[in-house]
Amino acid sequence: MKKNIFITATNTDIGKTYATLKLIKQIYKAGLKPGVFKPIETGVSSVAHDGSLLLETCSLYNQNFKKIPIEKIVPYRYPLPAAPFCAKEESKIEINRILEAYREIEAVCDIVLIEGAGGLMVPIEENFFMIDFIRLFDAKTLLVTSDKLGCINDTLLSLDMLKRYNADFIWCVNLRDKEDFEIKTLPFYKKYFGKVLYLQEDIKEIVSLLITDGNSDRYPS
């Protein structure tokens, strides 16, 4: 069984937090204790909105999280809504600080859901990108993709990057406009992939795939 799951997306505002919230509930239904971790959140004024929502929800399904402060769930928080490399300005993001917070979370759950920021190639430091969290945490990855016009290009580029990185991953669509998606995007996906997983309809199968060891061999090259 996979211990860590990294949730990423094709870009910002695609549905990573929404997906993580659904994963929390389904993992609990599967008889496991969920945990959440968002190493970096930008666009934070006084409260880390995404991190606080993750913590609040996870606390409903894992009582251990009622004792964990938001500073551990989101160790780095910046006011500028930008890539961490830009949002941190002259400060440095210490990987050891992130790992220390992660270890405290890991100790009180069965699976840690680690939510990224933006897409795979969002820079954290000059030579460290969001995709590098996959290896850092030895995580299986869920790529959340959009249903909007242009999503085919974004999805294929992200999948190609994950395959080049030798990541163990699955992907799904955050379906918000089914009618538009079925006309403008689904015909290609059905021809190219055969099967498409939807966040809203297939969450049980998504969790099953994520917590089981396996790779992305079923995706065309």
Which amino acid belongs to residue 212? Answer: T
Question: For the chain, first and last CA: distance in Å?
Answer: 26
Contact 58, 35 (CB under 8 A): yes
Count of alpha carbons within 13 angstroms of residue 4, beta-carbon side: 22
Which amino acid belongs to residue 46? Answer: S
Q: Is 150 left (phi over 0), alpha (psi -120 to 50) or beta?
A: left
- Residues with a known catalytic role: 38
Q: Name the DSSP letter for residue 122.
A: -
